[in-house]
Amino acid sequence: MVNATGHTVGIDALAFACPKAYLDLSTLAEARGVDPLKYTQGLGQEKMAIASPCEDTVTMAVEAGRLALKNYGIDPKEIGTLIVGTETGVDHSKPVAVYVHELLGLSHRCRTFETKHACYGASAGLTASLDWIASGRAKGRKALVIASDIASYGLKTAGEPTQGAGAVAMVVSHQPRLLEIDTTTIGDYTRQVMDFWRPLYSKYAFADGHFSIECYLEALSEARSVALEDQAEPIETLRACLYHVPFVKMAKKAHFQELCVAMGRDLDLGQPADEQLFANSFARKVAPFLRFNAQVGNIYTGSLYLSVMDCLSQIDQQGLGASIGLFSYGSGCGATYCLGKIAPTIHTFTSALDITSQLVQRRRLNIEDYESLIAAREVSDQASRLDPSDYNLNHGLAYVGTRNHQRQYEWLSD
């Protein structure tokens, strides 16, 4: 896919980081007196990553960014734009991105900023980076776009089982080694809706949950129509259909809607033939690429890209050069749909894309640990000194408290 400047553009590197602890949703269900099947089957989730007070948007973004540079052999000097998309900023004024810029050792000639639009911030950063490269302003340099969020809804709310935390870093370049983005297919959509928001005074998001699902599905329909100029999604020609994943079941709802559009009629899941048709399509194009999301939970602006990592880590020889559909949704709301093409060099990076070993190393929390971590996080912005060892953290970057109203970070070593 060649853009106006004669280059292919897209994603050259992808890496992931998340907190070192998780809560099993069956543990949460038991504590809340809910049938565990509601969370595991009804929402499709198995676990959610839980951040300690020493793990924040900056620490996760730095770890994901560090891996994206190291695992793909990219020199920090090659980065000419750094964008951090987040709903979970650590300061009303100072961007997360500028902490990340210093901690990754990027050049002072790098343009650096933060984007906020609920779960859409990183996708805004991705398309801005593609435009920056296509304009010629990049002058051969690459962009680093990092999605980093802690999804918090508060204890005993309907949103509680749809929490999570994590960061996905992507390097955007011409001649990308993972996924070419077809810039002629990018379709955008915006509409002011109150489906999910977080007032300045709250650490917890408010959501009109069922309405947010309607808004998501409407945005999908509209953004895809713009992208494909009102043609139905070419599901059969796509290797995978990847969606924003606030919880796994949402991707299933999205794909059902898309399949109805592709078939030109409403499928009836009460009819065995239609049920089989949908089950086959979902099993081939979507379900295999939701494994990581089911283990991590909602990571807001990174969640589509977690599914992208899962998909790209599983591409076989026939998948090289194949197209995939990508849908990003941020409440409030903003959305983008586009098509990507799998680069022929992808197999070199299969192990860098597979995050299974990262996930199995996490520590399982019981319900008391989980609730006390949430309580500790409520006051962590004002804590003068936090000890990472209290949270079993012994390597990587940690937030260690705020002194003189300035956040402090330290590198830990084993």
- Candidates 298, 313, 336, 380; binder of ligand CAA (CB under 6 A) is 298
Given the complex with ligand CAA, which of 63 and 195 has the nearer CB atom?
Answer: 195
Write down the least CB distance from residue 7 to ligand CAA, Å: 32
Given the complex with ligand CAA, which of 115 and 331 has the nearer CB atom?
Answer: 331
Given the complex with ligand CAA, which of 25 and 143 has the nearer CB atom?
Answer: 25
Q: Could you give the CA distance from residue 196 to residue 211 in angstroms, rounded to a whole number?
A: 9
Write down the least CB distance from residue 225 to ligand CAA, Å: 19
Interface with ligand CAA: number of residues (CB under 6 A):
28
Output DSSP code: residue 365.
Answer: P
Q: Could you give the CA distance from residue 346 to residue 354 in angstroms, rounded to a whole number?
A: 12
* HSE-up of residue 62 (Cα within 13 Å, Cβ side): 23
How far separated are the first and last CA of the chain, in Å rounded?
A: 45
The tokens describing 352, both together, are 């860098």
- Candidates 91, 98, 111, 209; binder of ligand CAA (CB under 6 A) is 209
Q: Which amino acid is at 355?
A: I
**Listed residue (412, 404, 411, 375) closest to 53, CA to CA:** 375
- Candidates 2, 5, 30, 37; binder of ligand CAA (CB under 6 A) is 37
Output DSSP code: residue 389.
Answer: G
Write down the least CB distance from residue 195 to ligand CAA, Å: 6
**Listed residue (124, 261, 263) closest to 186, CA to CA:** 124
Choosing from 78, 87, 180, 258, which is the catalytic residue?
87
Candidates 59-67, 104-112, 141-149, 157-165; binding stretch for ligand CAA (CB under 6 A): 157-165
- Candidates 60, 96, 178, 207; binder of ligand CAA (CB under 6 A) is 207
Contact between 154 and ligand CAA per CB under 6 A: no
Residue 33 neighbours by CB under 8 Å, 6+ apart: none
The tokens describing 54, both together, are 């020493």
The answer to whether 87 is a known catalytic residue is yes
Q: Could you give the CA distance from residue 299 to residue 292 in angstroms, rounded to a whole number?
A: 11
The answer to whether 119 is a known catalytic residue is yes
Q: Which amino acid is at 302?
A: G
Q: Which residue is nearest to ligand CAA (CB)?
A: 42
Catalytic amino acids?
A: 87, 119, 244
Chain residues in the site for ligand CAA (CB under 6 A): 35, 37-38, 41-43, 119, 158-159, 161-162, 195-196, 207, 209-210, 212-213, 216, 244, 246-247, 249-250, 298, 300, 329, 331
